[in-house]
Amino acid sequence: MIQITHKSTTLRKAIAQAIVKVSLPETIQAIREKTVPKGDVLECARVAGLFAAKRTADMIPDCHPLPVEFTGISYEISEMEIRILCEIHTVYKTGVEVEAMHAASVVALTMYDMLKPIDKGISIEQIKLVEKKGGKSDFKKLSEKHLTAAVIVCSDSISAGENEDTAGRMIAEKLRSFGVEVDDLEVIPDEKIQIEEKALLAVEEGIDLVIFTGGTGLSPRDVTPEALSDIIEQRVPGIEEAMRNYGQQRTPLAMLSRSIAGMIKNTLILGVPGSTKGASESLDAIFPAVLHIFKAREGSRHD
């Protein structure tokens, strides 16, 4: 199975369909009147679908076991066919599309099994995903404007040439994957004045997003939060909480991080850990949803 530990838990929904076509109008009549010899077709098939939704990971090798927190099975019955709709919800790290399609297919197969004694011409068609919601795909287009960013590495040792930067390059790569243009990647020492100057210069140049990596710990030279808090005009504590909460689920040491987030005019300023792992997890926690800030600044609703 693919790695999903880096993903955030969100509400996921999926609706899938399957169509059962009959060859005799009397078949539909028997279903409606509940005179099929094997029993109530619609209710038996619904129960089978509920079982299938919960057992998908047992049948499909690459499916992750997940909590199925809602399953709804409905029918649209016409003269010669039954359209099956299966809707599944979960709050988890991965979607429920396969669960919905698996449930829909089992509902259809149950109908086929129950109806074959009275109709030899039944077919199952169009098992497919109808709709899905949740996860990062819902947040791909969160700003209409072209976004630019600067990445500033705060480190005495890297600026002195004693160590090599990996966190800054990783951040730049992640930003580009979300369609954000990285205009600047620079290394500076852990100096409060230089950190403030770089942030204010980026704001003056109209850069949308500035990420400082490093200096968020508790050593005497870790001054990034102090430098940024002095100039940030509007703190966004929810971003800080999201990063720490995400990290805390992966290491108990995340509570020692002093990540910071806020706005200076229309520029989003972030201070994240200097370790590559810590910086990566911080970005995983908030991207791409954090880009909605720029829509909010444009006056868009939070729909």
Q: Is residue 115 within 8 Å of 41, Cβ to Cβ? A: yes
CA neighbours within 13 Å on the CB side: how many for 270?
A: 30
**Residues labelled catalytic:** 113
The one-letter amino acid at 292: H
Q: Nearest-CA neighbor of 292 among 221, 236, 219, 226?
A: 236
pLDDT value of position 141: 56
pLDDT single digits (tens) 199-232 = 999 999 999 999 999 999 999 999 999 999 999 9
Q: Which residues contact 257 (CB under 8 A, 6 or more apart)?
A: 216, 217, 243, 244, 247, 273, 278
Q: Nearest-CA neighbor of 188 among 218, 151, 238?
A: 151
Query: Spelled out in words, what is the top-level CATH class assigned to the domain 10-135?
Result: alpha beta
Give the whole-angstrom CA distance, residue 45 versus residue 201. 65
Q: What is the DSSP letter of 135?
A: S
Q: How big is the chain, counted in residues? A: 303
pLDDT value of position 58: 95
Least confident of 88-92, 100-104, 138-142, 275-279: 138-142
Give the whole-angstrom CA distance, residue 110 versus residue 147. 51
pLDDT single digits (tens) 130-177 = 999 987 666 555 556 789 999 999 999 999 999 999 999 999 999 999
Asked if the model's pLDDT at residue 298 lies above 80, the reply is no
Domain ranges of the chain: 10-135, 147-298
Query: Spelled out in words, what is the top-level CATH class assigned to the domain 147-298?
Result: alpha beta
